[in-house]
Chains A and B, each alone.
Chain A
Amino acid sequence: MTRTGFVIANLFRKRVRTILTLLSVIMAFLLFGLLQSVNTIFSAGADFVGATRLFVQARVSFTTALPLSMLPKLEAIPGVTRVAYQQWFGGVWLKTNTQLIMFALEPQRYHDVYPEWKMPEAQWQAFERTRTGLIVGRQLANQYGWKLGQRVPISSNIWPQKNGSKAWEFDLVGIFDGKDEDWQKRTNLAFMQQDYFEEANQFGIKGRTNFFILQLAAGANAEAISKTVDAMFENSPDETKTQTEKDFNISFVKQIGDIGLMVRWILFAVFFTLLLVVGNTMAQSVRERVPELAVLKTLGFSDRSVLGFVLAEAFVLVLAGGLVGMVLASLAGAMVEKATGGQFLLEVNGGVWFLGVAAIVLMSLAVGLLPALRARRLKIVDALAGH
């Protein structure tokens, strides 16, 4: 038997209680690992390394449209090889009333900027020449059982037609796949012609788009180009914010609210609850063992040793639960990343692990210190006499 063995033996004196407490610690750190990874994504600075495309939106918000007249200026920037644009349509599949991720765009430009989409040239050409043409990703087509040549009625929750109807009729002229497994997971998109949109929308919106997509030349300095674009339109009515595709996707999600602040509040609530649960367990455990702790002192263990035993119990409990929780968070993060085709990188990286370990140490102290001090202050005679 060793001191460590003694600590672990005492931890499992009430097996069910310890296991339930351990599970709560595991859950707390699982949430911590995942949420902190989310927080890292939303708090991280822009990362331009390896970017081959940049997204240009209105600085105010991507819901604010930009004029298509910006196109030639953007195309003229050194390092930019091609420019496409996308206008949010807000499509709803009428049969099931489900929201679609659907944009209006110029087919040829989009085809050039996104070589990752694989679709027969004949279908691209059909899309280009068919005003009411619609192309969808394979995932979307399979989900609703759409076939090539089918008439697909889709409504827009933003743009009614000039005739007042929200239902727009489309001809499905193309189904695209992704170039690999990751891109295939993103084939839940739908695209229509910008011309059709401009012609038929009731509000007469013409010559405007939600964002531009700049395709960069190989080796181009994405960060420099990003700054050039924003500088070009600074102090104009259409100030821009240029970022990578990844950062654009993150900011899309951020419109829900200050994700970072939400995450921090959730984590606070989680750990506060954990503090109460585990702290109560430790306090109860010490209360039950007052005579035993007195006997330890009788045998010659110092006040500091007894304090150390109780703190060690708290530490082992939180450490075991914390490590398991963090490992589970790592596994869950990897699963999320795989399931979203790499779009949502929920990586429990070294930084998150470091914070996790720091949280383990602090939580151990927080839950163990008061019971440990109580154990330290025990008077042998009074404790043995039952006072």
Chain B
Amino acid sequence: MSEPMVQVHNVTKVYERGKQKIEVLHGLTLDIPKGDFVALMGPSGSGKTTLLNLIGGLDKPTSGEITVGGRRIDQLGSGQLANWRAHNVGFVFQFYNLMPVLTAEGNVELPLLLTRLSGAQRRKNVSVALEVVGLADRAKHKPRELSGGQEQRVAIARALVSDPQLLVCDEPTGDLDRKTADEILGLLQVLNRDHGKTIVIVTHDPKAAEFARRTLHLEKGQLLEQAA
């Protein structure tokens, strides 16, 4: 694998809850090469979701550096970070977080409203994204008309439609049964292997972690070991 896609250097994250300060990450350093598929595991409160949020540009570290795709994202302002996310990262959440008022294709098209693509071009890209996740025939359905697995596929299509190089997934199979979970993880594998996407997932499920190329364990805000 080539140069790192993600470089986390000596990152600390402290949350303030009222007068209390909670240090969630302590001087964490790691690299994720381009094209890697990494699973972050650890007990509840270990900091894995916090790390994921930092890598995805949803939050900023209290100290340390984060570089993604050669860009120091810890130095970006909130507006710049939003713009960066739109073009560089795709997010997949445990509970799908689709817009209930939009159809599948509407949900997938949402990120493209931030581009200068024409309506026709947007629809074309949406169609391709839904094909990739195998839901082209459900394009006109609203989330309430889809199963959990189908909703998650739509969420993945939405994450892909802007063609980001990095996908961050927070417990993407946490709300799914085993069979459906395996299908989703299989899809992520295809995206990694055949489309070259760098994928970071957070999971507490060892079986889900098996789909990744390697697993990183966190505990109390620190990296314990790396398992391939």
> What residues of chain A have their CB less than 8 Å away from a CB belonging to chain B?
1-3, 5-6, 9-10, 12-13, 291-292, 295-304, 380-381, 384
* CB-contact partner of A300 in B59, B86, B102, B119, under 8 A: B86
Residue pair A303, B79 in contact (C-beta under 8 Å): yes
Q: What are 5 pairs between A and B in contact, CB < 8 Å?
A: A10-B101, A299-B91, A300-B85, A301-B82, A301-B114
One of B38-46, B105-113, B193-201 at the interface: B105-113
Q: Tell me the complex Cα distance, A5–B102, Å.
A: 10
Residue pair A299, B110 in contact (C-beta under 8 Å): yes
Which B residues, 62 to 90, have Cβ-Cβ distances below 8 Å to chain A?
78-79, 82-87
> What residues of chain B have their CB less than 8 Å away from a CB belonging to chain A?
53, 56, 58-59, 78-79, 82-87, 91, 93, 97, 99-102, 105-106, 109-111, 113-114, 119, 122, 158
* CB-contact partner of B106 in A1, A302, A303, A384, under 8 A: A1
Residue pair B79, A300 in contact (C-beta under 8 Å): no
Question: Nearest 8 pairs between A and B by C-beta?
Answer: A300-B86, A9-B101, A302-B82, A295-B97, A1-B106, A300-B85, A299-B111, A380-B58
Give the number of residue pairs across the A-B interface with Cβ within 8 Å. Answer: 73
Residue pair B83, A300 in contact (C-beta under 8 Å): yes
Kindly list chain B residues whose C-beta atoms are within 8 Å of the C-beta of A297: 82
Chain B nearest CB: distance from A255 CB in Å? 55
Q: Tell me the complex Cα distance, A20–B109, Å.
A: 30
Q: Tell me the complex Cα distance, A377–B104, Å.
A: 28
Kindly list chain B residues whose C-beta atoms are within 8 Å of the C-beta of A10: 99, 101
Q: Tell me the complex Cα distance, A32–B11, Å.
A: 60
Residue pair B114, A13 in contact (C-beta under 8 Å): no
* CB-contact partner of B102 in A9, A302, A304, A381, under 8 A: A9
Chain B nearest CB: distance from A141 CB in Å? 63
* Known contacts A6-B110, A300-B111, A303-B78; is-contact A381 B85 (Cβ 8 Å): no
* Known contacts A10-B101, A12-B101, A301-B114; is-contact A381 B91 (Cβ 8 Å): no
Kindly list chain B residues whose C-beta atoms are within 8 Å of the C-beta of A13: 100-101
Residue pair A381, B59 in contact (C-beta under 8 Å): yes
Known: A9-B102, A302-B79. 13 other contacts (CB 8 A): A1-B113, A6-B106, A9-B99, A9-B106, A13-B100, A298-B85, A299-B110, A300-B86, A302-B78, A304-B79, A380-B53, A381-B53, A384-B97
Kindly list chain A residues whose C-beta atoms are within 8 Å of the C-beta of B99: 6, 9-10, 292, 295
Candidate in A1, A9, A10, A295 with the most chain B CB atoms within 10 angstroms: A1
Residue pair A3, B113 in contact (C-beta under 8 Å): yes
Q: Tell me the complex Cα distance, A265–B78, Å.
A: 45
Residue pair B113, A2 in contact (C-beta under 8 Å): yes
Q: Tell me the complex Cα distance, A383–B97, Å.
A: 12
Residue pair A299, B86 in contact (C-beta under 8 Å): yes
Q: Tell me the complex Cα distance, A292–B101, Å.
A: 11
